[in-house]
Amino acid sequence: MALQDKYKELIDTANASGVTNLQVREQDNILYIDGSAPSGAVKDKLWDVYNKIDPDYRAGDLVLNVDVSATPGDKAKVTTDSSNLNIRKGPGTDQPILGKAAHLEIVTLVSKTNDQWWLIRTDKGVEGYAYTQYLTPVS
């Protein structure tokens, strides 16, 4: 079975959910899906579809590289499991921690450094870098 057939539901869901710049390519028996989701909820929906197709994510034949669209000034919610989110001096876990944002706190996006780190500011004025996996844009 071709990988695009195997993951047809995932690709269709991405299209139907408004993922922009959607690119689907197959290389070395791995399917790459890239794009920008309009919200964290859409990205979560994609992961849910993926989990139905490949429970426990064991096949290792898909790279889902869909980021969440956000622009400076947008608000984002801290979506850690339950703990606070570290805010760092620079984009990397090797950087010193400047402060923390509470679980479910709303922060302001200052800039997107890359797909993994955003420069954010809390309502208390703490500004630094946070790992994007734990930030979900809000409207």
Q: Token digits for 36?
A: 């920008």
Q: Mind listing the pLDDT tens digit for each residue in 75-118?
A: 999 999 899 999 999 999 999 999 999 999 999 998 877 778 89
Residue 10: enclosing H or E segment and its boundaries? helix 8-16
What confidence category does residue 61 fall into, taking pLDDT thresholds of 50, 70 and 90?
very high
Picking from 38, 68, 98, the residue at the C-terminal end of a domain is: 68
Residue range of the domain that includes 123: 75-138
Domain end point (choices 37, 68, 99) = 68
Instruction: State the DSSP string of 70-90.
Output: --TT-EEEE--SSSPEEEESS
Total number of domains constituting the chain = 2
pTM comes to 0.55
- Confidence band, pLDDT 50/70/90 cuts, at residue 36: confident
Write down which residue in 27, 49, 68 finishes a domain: 68
Kindly state the tokens that stand for 114. 């890359």
Task: Check residue 1 and give its pLDDT.
Answer: 61
